[in-house]
Structure 1
């Protein structure tokens, strides 16, 4: 029998980051996950500047940085045309490597238990978690951070409602030039050439010495193009983006192609005593919108920095306390922005109405204008005006 203040179920990015923050704050916590070393997993593979600032604010940047690769410079292109080059602010990583980095930040005061949580009983005071190894944990609060796993939630009457099935599909693969030469960019974001492509964008970014590709499309899992992508990926990529080679050169896919469909869903029945859900355990985001890691870090930071210290300072752990987290204005704003961006990007990428055509061309022209100004500043050196004599 283990007794802790907080039991965290799920040792992915959300759970491991929460364990690090709580342990560093002196909270007696336990992290429960069946994997002593987190397995290879195709999930988020890059973060940008705002998430780096969040890690710095949480005091975890030194542990996370060695697991990430800085992209140095971003090219933005459409229709085979480079429209902007700017300083990079993105960092690529293997998801399992980032989880291990988060775990490295967990102090020894936190119990890391390699087992699966098989049952939970909750109340206004104490919660009990039963483990697959026969042990049990008593805690004042359970943090459910086990992603898409639904078994424990169903037992508690917590359900998920799918709001957009197969909202998007992400394909991940490594890419290299056939001539063996390096790519001319640090990273590249290439937008769909037409709505018929049914894609949001292709993003190329470094992870170590490898150029990683994440391709975001809006299709169904039985789409013939996905079969073609598995069978003949270079031909399928040329079919989708015939002008891409103007920027990348002749390329080939190096290694396996991973495909991950994403349903958008929300949770119901979650306002219960003694248990709180974070990250994908509460609601999913669209990978194409790039808000998943932001949602995870926002959930974890608000829960561990704001709410849990306050909850532990008084007796009980009733549903009213737990509701404070779900009603947190910072969390609610992040969730709402993530959902809105998911639907907006899908419509902007595949809808054919006049308004959407206008928005696409407006965004293209604005980005091209910004890129042109950036290039002009790089070519024309800026220097202070010389003063006239006697002034």
Structure 2
């Protein structure tokens, strides 16, 4: 029987981040995950946006981890084959397994990692007991469930998930290479859908190392013939869906395996219990189209490890009223609500054909074009005055 203050079940992004944060804070914790090295998995492939990077910084890990990512520096925004803007960007390309393994490398030696599965759990207002697949047991004051979509352990506690939008979106990941050139003209590109009938919100291209990675999103069912066409003839299918894309990319070829991942939106029920707390996808899923899943993970883990766990450990017991404080945390609830609202609004603005949604699509196009025009004007004026223009090149290990 191992004894600790915090037992973390699941060593993905949420669990590994929590283990690193608690270890750095000197709080006794054990990370439980069956894999010594996190294996390749089609999930997050970039961290992007000022807000998301700031949320990452609250974990205390961003400065170190982002050194192993590829910072593109500038993102081109386009639609209908028209370049709308060339925005300075806070995008860092990094494959999910590389991200998780880099975070695991930051877990202090004093924080033990047990390579096993949690197979059973007993909870109480005082201490929790976990049985592991290797025959050992762990006793902890608090169990953090960060095991994502694996619902077995939660179901034994009466925690159920309710699917609120099945197959809400589908993500596709693949590599792209230019034909007849050594590189694309852009550091990174976000290309928005040309027609609502194609059910594609956008394609994003961004560098990961020396590879130009593509993430394509669509609102379809998993048995849609279009997905089979993307696997069989990807270049032709993508060009048919986004016919003006080549005005920005030139001729290109899709290489390597095409990874496809559907996303259900679900929420947890019956989770307010003593001795156990759910974070990340274990609590509720987000839509990958919006890119808010990482925001939710960093917000959950930062609030839990920076605010609530130190407070909870300062007094005896781990009753339900303590746990409730995390679920009612204003920072967390606002992030959850923002993520959920964005999942539905992004889908509607992509595929709904009501007059209001059509107007919003054109308004976004006009706003992007206006912002890009103003940026180009400022750059010209800056060039005339001798001010250096932003130079964007993919870089490694540099924070903007």
Cα deviation, residue 380, structure 1: 2.3
Give the Cα separation in 1 of the matches to 2:228 and 2:152.
32
1:222 aligned counterpart, secondary structure: coil
Give the Cα separation in 2 of the matches to 1:285 and 1:314.
34
Give the Cα separation in 2 of the matches to 1:11 and 1:56.
20
Cα deviation, residue 58, structure 1: 2.7
1:259-274 map, 5 Å: 259-274=260-275
1:256 aligned counterpart, secondary structure: strand
Give the Cα separation in 2 of the matches to 1:247 and 1:10.
41
Cα deviation, residue 383, structure 1: 4.2
8 Å Cα contact 2:30/2:112 also seen in 1: yes
Summarize deviations over 1:208-264 as a string: whole Å, max 9, x none.
000000001000000010010000000110111000011001111110000000000
Aligned length: 384
Give the equivalent residue in structure 1 for 2:240.
239
Cα deviation, residue 179, structure 1: 1.4
Cα deviation, residue 54, structure 1: 2.7
8 Å Cα contact 1:63/1:104 also seen in 2: no
Summarize deviations over 1:39-71 as a string: whole Å, max 9, x none.
000001111222222333332123312331101
Give the equivalent residue in structure 2 for 1:333.
334
Determine if the alignment matches structure 1 residue 65 to structure 2 residue 84. Answer: no
1:1-391 map, 5 Å: 1-48=1-48, 49-381=50-382, 383=385
Summarize deviations over 1:164-215 as a string: whole Å, max 9, x none.
0000000000110121420111110000001011011000000000000000
CA-based RMSD of the aligned residues comes to 1.0
Summarize deviations over 1:22-46 as a string: whole Å, max 9, x none.
1111100000000000000000111
1:236 aligned counterpart, secondary structure: helix
Give the gaps of 5 or more residues in structure 1: 385-391
Give the Cα separation in 2 of the matches to 1:161 and 1:55.
28
Give me the TM-score of the superposition, normalised by structure 1: 0.97
Higher relative contact order, structure no. (Cα contacts within 8 Å, ≥ 6 residues apart) = 2
8 Å Cα contact 2:38/2:101 also seen in 1: yes
Give the Cα separation in 2 of the matches to 1:5 and 1:149.
23
1:263 aligned counterpart, secondary structure: strand
Give the Cα separation in 2 of the matches to 1:383 and 1:43.
45
Give the Cα separation in 2 of the matches to 1:57 and 1:270.
25
